Chain A
């Protein structure tokens, strides 16, 4: 069976700028694909082509096996899309707006009412249904646009920065909602909030300068960080300075550096240094508050792959 979303060799050029270069990937049912990348990397352009808003210069997009260029209207029936900036008709009320969307989606009467009720409940819009969208806060506007994308319970969801502008509680609610829906759908979300990838995505693609520069599960990507498997020691500065010489002498240690909490020991790639470090600490007789292994930080990987090599602060350690 064909994957729910199949993207092959997508390219788009705006004038002299290559916005998207040879982007290919598949998303199966049950997957939540996180689209990461710096601003202007081509995330939104790629999403616009996947949803059929923008015609690619070359490449194909198939939704449930249907080529969106061949059958633009049919391929959109099972697609829910929240464009960048969460646009909606601001003079309307959420109820009027969702009623319009329901009509376009072919629902009428009590079925339309049920759909609207479900979508407004999922996005917690109940309290503002009768206020013009114009007068709503940014978080509500975003949720109105989200409700629009969910209204027909599509099996394919493409959400461009779904949690942008929401407060932490609302972010949590939207992430929970995405997680709940995930098993039944193929979902693409774009974000530049890296914690979101850990929270909801089963896979992440990092785009820079229009190209895919990394593709894997959040864990796989984290393991590419040079902090991956590093050991972090929380202790006073004097203690750390005394420990440094012994730790630096260990096999498998690339570098030990002081940071705000104590000491961070960077391993040579692939080596497990927790136990040897523990031994050194134990033998020294000094007391430390905590010793633990780090998973690696997506942020470091993100920076390493999205900043052109040479200027890349790849693994410069502890910037705030």
Chain B
């Protein structure tokens, strides 16, 4: 445990001693603000809630989270530090978990910095703060799932650009799985069970369910399972490809 904490701390601090943290947070907050106000019509709706704000989280994460996760393992492989790291008394499992947690903690800070939205709606009206808390919880577990996918694919390539593209691609599949576009594609021939499963894999649908205030355990477990699955593959890939 102690080893994971030390690895976590190094990773986490490294976001802030490089420009990554600041650039990311500025972009994230700027884009999220622009989307919420201009595309989501935050004020025009005349409702004191954060629905338009949360609605854009999925799409923003789809593009921005792979930008954080792409460096997690490809950079280690590219610079050779993976050889240093994995010949210390550290297992690949500990390293994968620590790196993931550090990235997650960093993303959580970015999400937490959206608090002015929360203050704003509370100032303007009387929103259901329970729903907003549920939305934030859902957003955090969803970020974790995107990060796990990104971390996993980052270990698949030494090249950060390839890692980024792969992560966006796989994330996109999970994001849009439940949308009519995909469902129509399979509904003609696939059995109903398959369609249900595909629809159930959707990040959007699972996140919507949570952010509407239905803090259902099923949706949380879904995101946690995605994280576990991809981190597990992540560990296998790190062990398999570390010396290539």
Asked whether A100 lies within 8 Å of B243 as measured between CB atoms, the reply is: no
- Identify which of B3, B7, B87 contacts A83 (C-beta below 8 A): B87
Task: Please determine whether A90 and B88 come into contact, CB atoms closer than 8 angstroms.
Answer: no
A85 within 8 A of partner (CB): yes
Interface residues of A in 78-115 (CB under 8 A from B): 79, 81, 83-85, 87-92, 96, 100-101, 103-106
**A145: nearest chain-B partner, CB-CB:** B84
Of chain A, the residue at the smallest CB distance from B17 is A91
Please state if B6 and A103 are interface contacts (CB–CB under 8 Å): yes
| Contact A100 B83, CB 8 Å, known A48-B243, A91-B17 | no
Q: How far is the CA of A92 from the CA of B12 in the complex (A)?
A: 12
Q: Does A38 contact B (CB under 8 A)?
A: no
Does B242 make an interface contact (CB < 8 A)?
Answer: yes
Report the separation of the CA atoms of residues A79 and B80 in the bound assembly, to the nearest whole angstrom. 19
Cross-chain pair count, CB within 8 angstroms: 65
Is the CB–CB distance between A88 and B81 below 8 Å? Answer: yes
Known A48-B243, A83-B80: A101·B14 in contact at CB below 8 Å: no
CB–CB A87/B81 < 8 A: yes
Interface-located stretch among A49-57, A220-228, A267-275, A289-297:
A49-57
Q: What class of interface size applies to chain A in its complex with B? A: 20 to 34
The answer to whether B10 and A100 touch across the interface, beta carbons within 8 angstroms, is yes
Interface contact B89-A91, CB-CB below 8 Å: no
Contacts of A100 in B (CB 8 A): 6, 9-10
A88 & B90 in contact (Cβ 8 Å cutoff): no
Q: In the complex, what's the smallest C-beta–C-beta distance from B66 to chain A, in angstroms?
A: 20
One of A53, A76, A87, A88 near B89 (C-beta < 8 A): A76
How far apart sit A79 and B86, CA to CA, in the bound complex (Å)? 12
Kindly supply a per-residue 1/0 record for chain A positions 97-138, scoring 1 wherever the CB is within 8 Å of any chain B CB and 0 otherwise: 000110111100000000000000000000000001000000
Say yes or no for A191: interface residue by CB 8 A criterion: no
Is the beta-carbon distance between B90 and A53 smaller than 8 angstroms? no
Most buried by A among B14, B86, B87, B89: B87
Given contacts A72-B91, A76-B88, A104-B90, contact A83 B83 (CB under 8 A): yes
Query: Please, which residues of chain B bring their CB within 8 A of the CB of A88?
Result: 81, 84
Provide a sorted-by-A list of 15 A–B residue pairs whose CB atoms are within 8 angstroms.
A52-B87, A53-B83, A53-B87, A72-B91, A73-B89, A73-B91, A76-B87, A83-B84, A83-B87, A88-B84, A89-B14, A90-B79, A100-B6, A104-B6, A104-B90
Beyond the given A79-B87, A88-B84, please list 12 additional residue pairs across the A-B interface where CB-CB is below 8 A. Answer: A48-B243, A51-B87, A53-B243, A73-B90, A87-B80, A91-B18, A101-B88, A104-B88, A104-B89, A104-B90, A145-B84, A148-B84
Query: What are the 3 tightest A-B residue pairs by CB atom distance, in nearest-first order?
Result: A87-B80, A103-B6, A83-B83
